[in-house]
């Protein structure tokens, strides 16, 4: 056999072996994991130029709180074929804990204190395409909701020293008094009555808000066990980018108004990873970590009475860690 014939034979053998390997590609194992753990929910709201309507520029209102809640986490993978699989994942808050919250305003400091509760719930549905051993491209979406409740509102600061909320209250009243005096349309008793109405107003009861989102996502995941690596210890990791296909926000201060939006009004990213120990061929213990960040733009909604209801820009973060039992089936 000549050198040329030998080269052709080797090339054909390589092609044949490659095709055979592709045909021998196996379906991945199905698995289900159920776990419990904790979430650190960061809830940040901000309104730029909060006092613009009363002639003060650059006064930004902001709050940034973290609530720690126990959670449930479950992930299930079903292998459809050699190339495709399907993930279903859920996560939800088990107990809503309380945290003290503080609102800060530029040039005024802390102006309001209250208590805060946050709860979350998620359902993720993702199609997985097996790129190669252990690597998967994820495309899908899901539904998530995060709700908060605030109550126990009170002024922050020192009334005697005119600081914090008391300083803001007096600033608002002084602005109204000067405006009405300059207009010259009301008597002094009428002006005093309007001034008392114009100060810093605290909600008398609880304020709640519900944020419901339908999202689309794309991501990547790698799992050493799916790559058929030997050993009892394995690890997995992944990252995803999310966009709101549709969202709805309802605030208890005006429940008849529903705020809604879609792509362009926000985004989200998440990363996750973990390790597992194979107790048997069918059962393992999983330890996982998952971090999320979502941003929703400021919402301004015109009401029927001609006023505008503003919902602040929200940055929501959630760091979860959990211990779970994983079984193959």
Query: pLDDT tens digits, residue range 188-242?
Result: 999 999 999 898 988 888 999 888 999 999 999 999 988 888 889 999 999 999 9
pLDDT of residue 71: 97
User: Both tokens of residue 226?
Assistant: 């799916």
Two tokens at 81? 């074929």
Q: How confident is the model at residue 55 (pLDDT cuts 50, 70, 90)?
A: confident
In the three-class reduction of DSSP (H, G, I as helix; E, B as strand; rest coil), residue 210 is classed as: strand
Residue 313: pLDDT band by 50, 70, 90 thresholds? confident
Average pLDDT score over residue span 112-135: 94
Residue 308 — pLDDT band, cuts 50, 70, 90? Answer: low
Which of 232, 221, 237 is closest to 284 using CA atoms?
A: 232
93: number of Cβ within 10 Å: 21
Distance CA 191, CA 185 (A): 9
Query: What are the pLDDT digits (tens) for 85-95?
Result: 999 999 999 99
Neighbours of 126 (CB within 10 A): 22
Say what the pLDDT of residue 295 is.
Answer: 86
CB 96 within 8 A of CB 89: no
Question: Which has the minimum average pLDDT: 14-18, 71-75, 216-220?
Answer: 14-18
What sections of 67-121 are H helices per DSSP?
none
CB 206 within 8 A of CB 228: no
Q: What is the largest CA-CA distance in the chain?
A: 115
Decide: 108 and 59 in contact? Cβ < 8 Å. yes
What per-residue confidence (pLDDT) applies to 286? 97
CATH 2.60.120.10 fits 28-164+203-328, yes or no: no
Does this model's pTM top 0.85? My answer is: no
**pLDDT tops 50 at residue 24:** no
List the chain domain ranges: 28-164+203-328
Q: Which residue has the higher pLDDT, 329 or 97?
A: 97
Q: What is the Cα–Cα distance from 95 to 122, expressed in whole angstroms?
A: 15
């Amino acid at each position: 056999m000549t050198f040329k014939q030998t080269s052709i034979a080797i090339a054909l053998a390589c092609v044949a072996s490659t095709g055979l390997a592709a045909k021998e590609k196996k379906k991945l194992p199905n698995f289900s994991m159920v776990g419990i753990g904790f979430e650190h929910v960061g809830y940040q709201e901000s309104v730029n130029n909060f006092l613009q309507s009363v002639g003060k520029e650059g006064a930004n209102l902001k709050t940034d709180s973290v609530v720690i809640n126990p959670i449930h986490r479950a992930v299930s993978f079903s292998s459809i074929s050699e190339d495709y699989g399907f993930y279903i994942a859920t996560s939800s808050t088990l107990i809503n804990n309380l945290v003290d919250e503080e609102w800060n305003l530029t040039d005024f400091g802390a102006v309001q204190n209250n208590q805060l509760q946050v709860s979350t719930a998620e359902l993720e549905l993702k199609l997985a395409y097996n790129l190669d051993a252990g690597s998967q491209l994820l495309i899908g979406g899901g539904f998530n909701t995060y709700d908060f409740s605030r109550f126990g509102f009170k002024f922050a600061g020192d009334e005697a020293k005119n600081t914090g909320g008391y300083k803001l209250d007096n600033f608002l009243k002084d602005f109204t008094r000067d405006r009405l005096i300059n207009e010259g349309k009301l008597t002094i008793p009428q002006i005093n009555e309007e001034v008392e109405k114009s100060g810093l107003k605290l909600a008398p009861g609880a304020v709640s808000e519900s944020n419901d989102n339908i999202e689309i996502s794309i991501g990547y995941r790698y799992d050493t066990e799916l790559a058929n690596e030997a050993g009892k210890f394995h690890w997995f990791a992944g990252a995803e980018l999310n966009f709101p296909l549709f969202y709805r926000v309802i605030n208890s201060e005006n429940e008849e108004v529903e705020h809604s939006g879609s792509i362009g009004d926000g985004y989200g990213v998440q990363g996750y990873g973990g390790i597992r120990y194979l107790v048997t061929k069918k059962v393992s213990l999983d330890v996982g970590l998952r971090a999320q960040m979502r941003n929703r733009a400021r919402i301004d909604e015109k009401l029927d009475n001609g006023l505008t209801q503003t919902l602040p820009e929200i940055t929501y973060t959630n760091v979860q860690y959990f211990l779970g039992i994983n079984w193959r089936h």
